[in-house]
Amino acid sequence: MWWTVFETIVSLFESCVVIHFICAFLKHDFKTVRGKIVYIIGVIIDFAAVIILNSITVYEGLLGIIYILVYLIFSSIFLKGEFLQKIFTSFLANIILVCTGLIVSGIISTVYRDNLSEIYDYKSFLRMVSMLINQLLLICVYNLVLKYKVSMLKKKEWHLILSVLGISFVSLALIHFTIINSSIETEYTKFIVIAEFGIIILNIVCFYMTYALNRSNSEAENLRVQKQQEEYRTQYSENIRSQYEEIRRIRHDMKQNLAVISALYKEGKYKEAGEYIDKISYNLAKLEMFIDVGNDFINAILNSKLSIAKEHGIEVLCVSSSNMRGVEDTDLCNLLGNMLDNAIEAAGKCNNSLIEVSINSDDDKIHVMISNSIKESVLKNNCDLVSTKDDDNTHGYGIKTIKSIAEKYSGIANFYEDKNMFYCQVIMYKQML
């Protein structure tokens, strides 16, 4: 009875560790009530799977794939992230679990010269020690891996890495199952254990390569963002310069315009005078200030984009606060530029098009909401908002940029639809700059 209680406690602890790793790797928020409930649900599901499999067999072998499926189903239902990343996390969590168990049992078997079957089958002191050491090693390895999170991989890279992990899992499961259930002499068993360690080392190398690819992609993305920011700086500084030159020209021409209007009225040419006034009003409308947030650089990008929208016949409604401190100008400009680019492109395809911009700021956070009219549902056929343009190497970064900026400021980016309107909502928590 005491042994059963001990194994149950260890299994429950292991479920807590594994589910915590999966949640942390997928950047789950443990602070909220929902986050804690999701974590508890994951632990219960995994613990139930462990109890069921332990009642069927001593060593799961290939049945261990059930754990991968459990992790994948749990993460798909309750956790955020791309599906390929969830598959990777499920495989990685189980591979680490298998590898730590193999390392501990292999070392203990070698030191004490016992068969692995005895360590797994008998309720001995060595089995108890191996279970405790395995949990400690599992925690250390999981914490180490969490320092090197992986998210920015291309589809082909995900497929390659997942193939390696899948082959490694099957190979380790078959080899270890053979050692436990066969009558191979202890001397030859050591060679098979060494082969297992070789596969484990290959997995370590594989993870390092995955991290290196992730880092390379991240650096490439940062360079792309920096290039885009420089383009925004150039574009909108030029916009400011042209607006300034236009204002100077209009001021210079004002006296002449007033003289022309006065002369037309004196001559009774009221229609010509009205047309002349309309022309001047149109030129002045180009300089209309939609939003003033107290920051010239942010004003430039907002008003430039909204002027473009107006030139395309898109109705624009704007509401804005003026306290933009706590978020870097470059990040806010990059965010607003991408959000408005997407909104203008989508609204431009509609009749009676509309864009609504709302920027609210308080002492803790900045809330940006940009909505636009849509011709048909976007999320219905493209729920992940993947670029539909032909050149996906230069397109499709807008949504990624929006999400990454929100994440940088511990916020969220939500996308939803309602009554032929598409909504992009971003919440960012202010930082001490």
pLDDT, block means (10 residues), the chain with 433 residues = 82 92 87 90 92 74 80 90 84 83 69 54 68 84 78 68 75 69 61 73 76 76 71 65 67 75 81 80 60 72 80 84 81 87 88 88 88 85 59 56 86 87 91 67
Residue type (1 letter), 132: L
Q: What is the pLDDT of residue 393?
A: 42
Q: What is the pLDDT of residue 386?
A: 60
Q: Is residue 176 part of a domain?
A: yes
Q: How far apart (Å, rounded) are the C-alpha atoms in residues 337 and 231?
A: 11
Q: How far apart (Å, rounded) are the C-alpha atoms in residues 414 and 287?
A: 32
Same domain? For 198 and 297 the reply is no
Give the rounded distance of the alpha carbon of 6 from its chain centre: 39
Q: Is residue 169 part of a domain?
A: yes
Q: Please say whether the beta carbons of 162 and 91 come within 8 A.
A: yes
Same domain? For 301 and 167 the reply is no
3-state secondary structure of 392: coil
**Structure tokens belonging to residue 87:** 């598959």
- Specify the number of domains making up the chain: 2
Same domain? For 200 and 341 the reply is no
Residue type (1 letter), 130: S
Give the rounded distance of the alpha carbon of 107 from its chain centre: 39
Same domain? For 301 and 179 the reply is no
Q: Is residue 264 part of a domain?
A: no
Q: How far apart (Å, rounded) are the C-alpha atoms in residues 243 and 251?
A: 12
Q: Please say whether the beta carbons of 189 and 116 come within 8 A.
A: yes
Q: Is residue 260 part of a domain?
A: no
Same domain? For 198 and 346 the reply is no
CATH of the domain at 365: 3.30.565.10
Q: Please say whether the beta carbons of 232 and 304 come within 8 A.
A: no
As to burial, measured by CB atoms within 10 angstroms (0-12 exposed, 13-18 middle, 19+ buried), residue 127 is buried
Q: How far apart (Å, rounded) are the C-alpha atoms in residues 175 and 103?
A: 13
Q: Domain end: 224, 248, 277, which one?
A: 224
Q: Is residue 83 part of a domain?
A: yes
Q: What is the pLDDT of residue 274?
A: 83
Q: Which domain holds residue 404?
A: 290-433
Name the phi and psi angles at 82, rounded to 5.
-70, 150
Single out the residue of 286, 297, 291, 347 nearest to residue 318, CA to CA.
291
Q: What is the pLDDT of residue 17?
A: 93
Same domain? For 216 and 312 the reply is no
Q: What is the pLDDT of residue 263?
A: 83
Instruction: Please give the helix or strand (H or E) that residue 427 lies within, else none.
Output: strand 421-429
Q: What is the pLDDT of residue 22?
A: 92
Single out the residue of 24, 69, 10 nearest to residue 45, CA to CA.
69
Same domain? For 12 and 100 the reply is yes
Q: How far apart (Å, rounded) are the C-alpha atoms in residues 20 and 14?
A: 10
Continuous H helices in 182-295 = 186-266, 270-285
Q: How far apart (Å, rounded) are the C-alpha atoms in residues 419 and 179?
A: 62
Q: Is residue 230 part of a domain?
A: no
Q: Is residue 280 part of a domain?
A: no
Same domain? For 189 and 48 the reply is yes
Q: What is the pLDDT of residue 261?
A: 78
Q: What is the pLDDT of residue 392?
A: 47
3-state secondary structure of 82: coil
3-state secondary structure of 424: strand
Name the phi and psi angles at 70, rounded to 5.
-65, -45
Single out the residue of 36, 1, 172 nearest to residue 97, CA to CA.
172
CA atoms within 13 A on the CB side of 123: 7
Same domain? For 200 and 313 the reply is no
Q: Domain end: 224, 247, 277, which one?
A: 224
Q: Domain end: 190, 224, 258, which one?
A: 224
Q: What is the pLDDT of residue 47?
A: 93
Positive or negative, the CA dihedral 375, 377, 381, 387 is positive
Q: How far apart (Å, rounded) are the C-alpha atoms in residues 324 and 321?
A: 8
Same domain? For 196 and 70 the reply is yes
Q: Is residue 76 part of a domain?
A: yes
Same domain? For 36 and 171 the reply is yes
Number of H helices, E strands in the chain: 12, 5
As to burial, measured by CB atoms within 10 angstroms (0-12 exposed, 13-18 middle, 19+ buried), residue 313 is exposed
